């Protein structure tokens, strides 16, 4: 019996978390983190699975240009847009957080999904010794309360790996901030049923798992 068939048998669509696979990086750690907290999830590129899942995770590692091309090639743009507008809880992670904005400076300028207004900028530190990518654990200052932060102390550190950062067009979309390379950037953004982290909660130990558990319990309302 094929693995995908076995997976389909066990899918309970009312509780399923769809982890969108658009060939942008390795999703194993995202899946393992959700499994660890007892959530039922599936890594999928199938629009019908994504459309019927009760929450959606939009992860990703890599470059914005190729990610957008992959989304188009796989026919996922519309279903992601629908998920974001449906009121179902929607979690962006890392590259997923960047390409839900309007535009990225990466790859000579890339038009993105525009689910939240804003752009993605490259770190440009004055200090030549400041390393890019921003890699490692850095503090997140909570600027706006959100169910995602329940039980998480202000200033807790999370694991980051990125060279570009989200810059929403309005402060009201900023939920958490982090300092690096001379900028204070939005490390957690969100609006309505959308929430998105520049860091990797699935790689951020117990506190990251707590954040994912908060997402699993969240009803998508603020």
Partner 1 sequence: MLTKRIIPCLDVRNRKVTKGVRFQGNVDLGDPIEMAIAYSEGGCDELVFYDITASAENRQIDIGMVREVARAIHIPFAVGGGIRDLDDMQEVLLAGAEKVSINSLAVENPSIIAEGARVFGRQCIVLGMDPVANPDRRRFPSGYEITIRGFRQRTGLDALEWARRAEDLGVGEIVVNSVDTDGTRDGYELNLTRLIATNVGVPVVASGGAGNPRHLVEVLTKGRADAAIIASIVHSGEYTIAQIKEELARAGVPVRKKW
Which residues are marked as active site?
Answer: 94, 200, 202
Q: Which stretch binds partner 1 (CB under 8 A): 7-15, 78-86, 112-120, 204-212?
A: 204-212
Token duo for residue 203: 């790689």
In the bound state with partner 1, the residue whose beta carbon lies nearer, of 193 and 204, is 204
Q: Is 179 in the site for partner 1 (CB under 8 A)?
A: yes
Q: Are 187 and 178 in contact, with CB atoms under 8 Å apart?
A: yes
18: nearest Cα among 48, 44, 47: 44
Does the protein bind partner 1 through residue 132 (CB under 8 A)? yes
Binding mask 60-79 for partner 1 (x = CB under 8 A): -xx-----------------
Map tokens 């982290």 to a residue: 197
CA distances from 170 to 71, 149, 186, 189 (A): 26, 21, 11, 10
- Minimal distance, residue 24 CB to partner 1, in Å: 9
**Pair of tokens at residue 77:** 């743009």
Which residue has tokens 């850095």? Answer: 138
Task: Determine the Cα–Cα distance for residues 169 and 116; give it in Å rounded to an integer.
Answer: 9
- Of the two residues 74 and 209, which places its CB atom closer to partner 1 in the complex? 209
State yes or no: residue 144 binds partner 1 (CB under 8 A): no
* Single residue of 87, 117, 133, 145 touching partner 1 by CB under 8 A: 133
Which residues ranging from 16 to 45 are in contact with partner 1 (CB under 8 A)? 25-26, 28-29, 32-33, 36
Buried b (16+ CB within 10 A) or exposed e, 125-134: eeeeeeeeeb
Count CB-CB contacts under 10 A for residue 2: 7
Q: What is the DSSP string of 26-70?
A: --HHHHHHHHHTT--EEEE--HHHHHH-SEEEE---S-HHHHHHH
Piece of the chain touching partner 1 by CB under 8 A; list 10-18, 51-59, 101-109, 206-214: 206-214
What's the min distance (Å) between Cβ of 21 and partner 1? 12
- Dist. CA 31–CA 34, nearest whole Å: 5
Is position 210 an interface residue for partner 1 (rule: CB under 8 A)? no
Minimum distance from CB of 118 to partner 1 (Å)? 23
Among 156, 187, 198, 214, binds partner 1 (CB under 8 A): 156
The residue from 202, 213, 216, 218 that contacts partner 1 (CB under 8 A) is 202
Q: By CB under 8 A, name the binding residues for partner 1.
A: 25-26, 28-29, 32-33, 36, 61-62, 128-129, 131-139, 153, 156-157, 159-161, 179-180, 202-209
């Amino acid at each position: 019996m094929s693995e995908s068939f076995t997976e389909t048998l066990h899918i309970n669509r009312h509780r399923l978390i769809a982890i969108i696979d658009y060939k942008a990086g390795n999703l194993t750690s995202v899946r393992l983190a959700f499994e660890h907290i007892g959530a039922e999830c599936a890594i999928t590129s199938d629009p019908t699975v994504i459309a019927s899942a009760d929450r959606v995770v939009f992860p990703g590692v890599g470059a914005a240009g190729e990610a957008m091309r992959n989304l188009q090639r796989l026919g996922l743009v519309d279903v992601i847009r629908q998920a974001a507008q449906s009121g179902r809880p929607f979690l962006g992670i890392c590259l997923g957080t960047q390409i839900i904005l309007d535009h990225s400076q990466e790859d000579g300028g890339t038009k993105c999904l525009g689910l939240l207004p804003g752009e993605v900028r490259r770190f440009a530190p004055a200090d030549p010794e400041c390393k890019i990518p921003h890699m490692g654990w850095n503090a997140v200052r909570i600027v706006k309360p959100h169910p995602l932060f329940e039980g998480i102390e202000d200033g807790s550190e999370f694991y980051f790996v990125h060279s570009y950062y989200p810059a929403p067009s309005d402060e009201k979309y900023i939920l958490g901030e982090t300092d690096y390379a001379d900028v204070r950037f939005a490390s957690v953004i969100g609006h309505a049923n959308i929430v998105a982290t520049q860091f990797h909660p699935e790689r951020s130990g117990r506190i990251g798992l707590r954040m994912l558990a908060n997402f699993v319990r969240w009803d998508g309302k603020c």
